[in-house]
């Protein structure tokens, strides 16, 4: 398709958005690899942010994030990122201990 989020701005109609918690990120690059809209900004194999102008809010980045708690979570578009970070959940006790360790 000639129309995709790389050449069209989509940020105005998004209802939910991913918020990134840099303190939990292990730079596995899963979010960057699976994002269908190339909205994950990565430099030298390290995530540096999210391109909200092109992100559609699909949540795939959250689904593929392996950390516990996840380093990406979906929040309402109206929630400021700084406020979202204060609402981050603690570790999910149902996941294995090594689930949030960096796999090298």
The whole-angstrom separation of Cα 104 and Cα 99 is: 13
Tell me the DSSP string of 66-91.
Answer: -SSS-SEEEEETTS-HHHHHHT----
Domain ranges of the chain: 16-87
pTM score: 0.78
Tens digits of residue pLDDT in 30-61: 999 999 999 999 999 999 999 999 899 999 99
Q: pLDDT value at position 94? A: 60
Tens digits of residue pLDDT in 21-30: 999 999 999 9
- For the domain made up of 16-87, the CATH class stated in words is alpha beta
Q: What angle do CA 38, 67, 25 make, to 5 degrees?
A: 60
């Amino acid at each position: 398709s000639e129309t995709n989020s790389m050449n069209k701005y989509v940020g105005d109609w998004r209802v939910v958005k991913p918020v990134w918690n840099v303190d939990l990120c292990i730079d596995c690059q899963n979010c960057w690899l699976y994002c269908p809209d190339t909205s994950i900004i990565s430099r030298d194999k390290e995530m540096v942010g999210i391109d909200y102008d092109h992100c559609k809010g699909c949540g795939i980045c959250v689904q593929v994030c392996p950390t516990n708690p996840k380093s990406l979570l979906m929040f309402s578009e109206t929630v400021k990122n700084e406020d979202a970070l204060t609402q981050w959940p603690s570790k999910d006790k149902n996941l294995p201990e090594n689930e949030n360790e960096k796999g090298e």
